[in-house]
């Protein structure tokens, strides 16, 4: 153990080296770094139990893992998930006639030994079933962004609860490719290109037992060539850890995995194995000579699950977070490209608030001017309409006056005709009465004459 004087000297050297980097050259810093000595413990201290504490805390808290399954309906997504976790999840058969792509998330509580896992499986219902497939991948992108946004909003809260927060960010995307043996569809390329910056993509050749081994190897080479040429960044198993570097490097050469899923079991030898039965024989799901299911399960669940979770947080979520904060106006440098000081968040907020306030006032002024302009235009339109209505009114008024004059003239003429007719009628009645009296007198005289002749 070093003496107290040596410890103080060591602390002084460390503080001087770390606190004044602008005054020390790179060579001096390297020399001082080399002069820092490692201290050997003479007895037990106890911080060696720190990993055990982390393990106990993690087991107590539990883990979460979210899988996104992308592939056309009926390609075997649900069957493969059931086979991966050796259980039967509740899943209803999807229709081939969905008008749009719909994402369906289901969460399950799994436990293996004393480790609890909250597993969320997100299935893409109706993917690739539409005639117009231009918007097929947009629903998936929106869903992933929505989970990132929910986590970001939780981080930005004043009172956060990230310890108990149910993280729904997608950790891995299992992209199921139809075993055509030819090439990737345009929809597959566009979808993976849209997702590679947002999620870890592991391409899978589904139902690999429907294609021969020779065609399968050629198909794998062609798929990887097309992905590289199209610039699609799929998930590569990490090789920076010495414990898993060798096996991960070997598994990267097997991508994309050719998988077969089945929950049916038959007895082969002395043990029950999962198989797919055909008239000509069986395909053993867990036989590496038949398919890559064991490789996928080993890489996805046993070896690299934590790396997938870490990559999601440190790479994809950080990219989304950075873009969102840049959209909000936050930067890592202040005016004149100087690094922001402490409390830069508050300063940035205040600067952005003033900027938004100025923009709001400017917008209000523009809206007021626009409103006044529109009011003037509306007033001009209304005045023009009023003039047109007044002119039409005057015209109708003149027409009314002319019609009234004509009607008065016709009434006067009609009244004169009525008077004339009345006079003629009176004269006619007088003449008629006189004729009647005259004819009566004549008849009386004739009667008297006849009577006198009779006597």
Q: What is the pLDDT of residue 439?
A: 79
What DSSP string runs through 189-218? HHHHHHHTTTS-EEEEETTGGGS-HHHHHH
User: Would you call 180 helix, strand, or coil by DSSP?
Assistant: coil
Q: 45-56 burial string, b = 16+ CB within 10 Å, else e?
A: eeeeeeeeeeee
Neighbours of 21 (CB within 10 A): 10
The kind and range of the H/E element at 8 are helix 4-19
Q: Which residue, chain included where needed, has tokens 């008077």? A: 419
Q: What is residue 408's DSSP assignment?
A: H
Q: What is the pLDDT along the chain (455 residues), one digit of tens a residue?
A: 444 444 444 334 434 433 333 443 455 555 555 666 676 777 777 888 888 888 888 888 888 999 999 988 888 888 888 888 888 877 666 666 676 788 888 888 888 888 888 899 998 888 877 776 777 888 899 999 999 999 988 888 888 887 778 889 999 999 999 888 788 888 889 999 999 899 999 999 988 888 888 898 999 999 999 999 988 999 999 888 888 888 988 898 888 899 988 888 888 878 888 888 888 888 888 888 888 889 999 998 888 889 999 999 999 999 999 888 888 766 666 555 555 444 456 666 677 778 888 888 999 999 999 999 999 999 999 999 999 999 999 999 999 999 999 999 999 999 999 999 998 888 888 888 888 888 777 777 777 777 776 66
CB within 8 A of 181, min separation 6: which ones?
211, 215, 216, 218, 219
DSSP strand pairing (63-70 vs 172-177): parallel
Do residues 226 and 172 touch, judged by C-beta distance below 8 A? no
End-to-end CA separation in angstroms for the chain: 193
Give whole-number Cα distances, 311 to 161, 200, 221, in Å: 22, 8, 26
CB within 8 A of 259, min separation 6: which ones?
80, 204, 205, 206, 208, 291, 292, 293, 296
CA–CA dist 283, 258 (Å, integer): 13
CA–CA dist 111, 108 (Å, integer): 10
Pull the structure tokens for residue 237. 């198993």
Cross-strand bridge partners of residue 205: 177, 258
Q: Interior CA angle at 176 toward 302 and 131, to 5°?
A: 155
Q: What is the pLDDT of residue 34?
A: 63
CA–CA dist 401, 409 (Å, integer): 12
User: Would you call 70 helix, strand, or coil by DSSP?
Assistant: strand
Give whole-number Cα distances, 454 to 440, 445, 447, 451, in Å: 21, 14, 11, 5
Peptide bond into 256 cis (omega under 30): yes
Pull the structure tokens for residue 395. 């015209």
Dmax (CA) for the chain in angstroms is: 195
What DSSP string runs through 81-140? HHHHTTS----PPPPS--SS-EEEEEEEEEEETTEEEEEEEEEEETTT-SS--TTTTHHH
Neighbours of 2 (CB within 10 A): 12
Cross-strand bridge partners of residue 56: none
The pTM assigned to this predicted structure is: 0.65
């Amino acid at each position: 153990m070093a003496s107290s004087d040596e410890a103080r000297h060591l602390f002084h050297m460390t503080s001087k080296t770390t606190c004044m980097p602008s005054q020390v050259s790179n060579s001096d810093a390297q020399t001082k770094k080399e002069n820092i000595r490692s201290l050997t413990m003479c007895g037990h201290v106890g911080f060696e139990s720190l990993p055990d504490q982390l393990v106990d805390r993690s087991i107590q808290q539990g883990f979460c893992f979210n899988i996104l399954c992308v592939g056309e309906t009926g390609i075997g997504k649900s069957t493969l998930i059931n086979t991966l976790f050796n259980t039967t999840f509740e899943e209803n058969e999807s229709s081939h006639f969905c008008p749009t792509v719909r994402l369906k998330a289901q969460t399950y509580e799994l436990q293996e030994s004393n480790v609890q896992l909250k597993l969320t499986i997100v299935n893409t219902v109706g993917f690739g079933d539409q005639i117009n497939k231009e918007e097929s991948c947009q629903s998936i992108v929106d869903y992933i962004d929505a989970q990132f946004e929910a986590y970001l909003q939780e981080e930005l809260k004043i009172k956060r609860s990230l310890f108990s927060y149910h993280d729904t960010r997608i950790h891995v995307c299992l992209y199921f490719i139809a075993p055509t043996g030819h090439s990737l569809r345009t929809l597959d390329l566009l979808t993976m290109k849209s997702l590679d910056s947002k999620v870890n993509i592991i391409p899978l050749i589904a139902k690999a037992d429907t294609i021969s081994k020779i065609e399968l190897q050629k198909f794998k080479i062609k798929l990887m060539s097309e992905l590289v040429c199209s610039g699609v960044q799929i998930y590569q198993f990490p090789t920076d850890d010495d414990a898993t570097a060798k096996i991960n490097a070997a598994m990267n050469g097997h991508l994309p995995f050719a998988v077969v899923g089945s929950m049916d079991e038959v007895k082969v030898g002395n043990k029950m194995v999962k198989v797919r039965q055909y008239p000509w024989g069986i395909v053993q799901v867990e036989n590496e000579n038949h398919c890559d299911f064991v490789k996928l399960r080993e890489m996805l669940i046993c070896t690299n699950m934590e790396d997938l979770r870490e990559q999601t947080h440190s790479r994809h979520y950080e990219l989304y977070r950075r873009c969102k904060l840049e959209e909000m106006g936050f930067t890592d440098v202040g005016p004149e490209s100087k690094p922001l000081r402490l409390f830069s968040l508050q300063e940035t907020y205040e600067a952005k608030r003033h900027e938004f306030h100025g923009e709001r006032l400017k917008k209000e002024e523009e809206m007021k001017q626009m409103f006044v302009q529109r009011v003037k235009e509306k007033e001009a339109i209304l005045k023009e309409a009023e003039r047109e209505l007044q002119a039409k009114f005057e015209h109708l008024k003149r027409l009314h006056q002319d019609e009234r004059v004509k009607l008065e003239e016709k009434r006067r003429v009609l009244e004169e005709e009525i008077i004339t007719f009345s006079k003629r009628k009176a004269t006619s009645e007088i003449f008629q009465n006189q004729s009647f009296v005259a004819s009566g007198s004549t008849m009386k005289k004739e009667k008297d004459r006849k009577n006198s002749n009779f006597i």
